[in-house]
Structure 1
């Protein structure tokens, strides 16, 4: 499996922009975790609680560093290929609806 980052029509990559706002330790852990998920696959990632299915073809990457909880939303767009739409810092147990809606809009473009 392989993750790609969504790039908008202006060349912006929202997930990379998000990672740049994080402390280096947090961003590096998130990048590491993405690489491990690519290598080991979604079933292992699900068991390790690195990913969570939110709804049909919308998933959450989960990274925790200390008290900071970062998330990246992604979807499958063809066999073995996934797109990370954007990232955010989670402050509650539930994924905010506005974050899911942002990911849905990007998914619909594909």
Structure 2
């Protein structure tokens, strides 16, 4: 019996590493390093999905304002958010992150992300 395996290489290449995840300054890294290992793993999992999947549902990614998106992750009853943009090419640029303590995302965190986005674009050549 002969077994034929069909592999769609275009799909594999596209899904393997569709986006490059970068961070602007150290805001995201400082936030990430302050978390416990379980929360880090959950955020890394969502970042990996963002890197490799064309579309994520609103449980993981949501447009907030002015081209700034919110990456959403939860662990042990805690809710974590990190702001980012989709930049030229396949770049995802991470900005600030925080642990959410209220139902609504604090306006100060959104404003900080928008400010960092504007700062980032102003610093680009």
Sort the TM-score into its range (normalised by shorter chain): 0.7 to 0.9
Q: State the distance in 2 between where 1:78 and 1:100 align.
A: 22
Matched-pair contact (CA < 8 Å) for 2:20–2:91: yes
Q: Which has the larger radius of gyration?
A: 2
The TM-score normalised by the length of structure 2 is 0.76
CA RMSD of aligned residues (A): 1.3
Q: Which has the higher strand share?
A: 1
Q: State the distance in 2 between where 1:102 and 1:55 align.
A: 12
SS at match of 2:57: helix
Q: Which has the higher contact order (CA 8 A, sep 6+)?
A: 1
Runs of 4+ in 1 over 6 A off after TM superposition: none
- Per-residue CA deviation, residues 49-93 of structure 1 (Å, 9 max, x unaligned), is 110111230110000012110100011221321211011000122
The aligned length equals 102
Q: Which structure 2 segments of 5+ residues have no match?
A: 1-18
Confirm or deny that 1:5 pairs with 2:23: yes
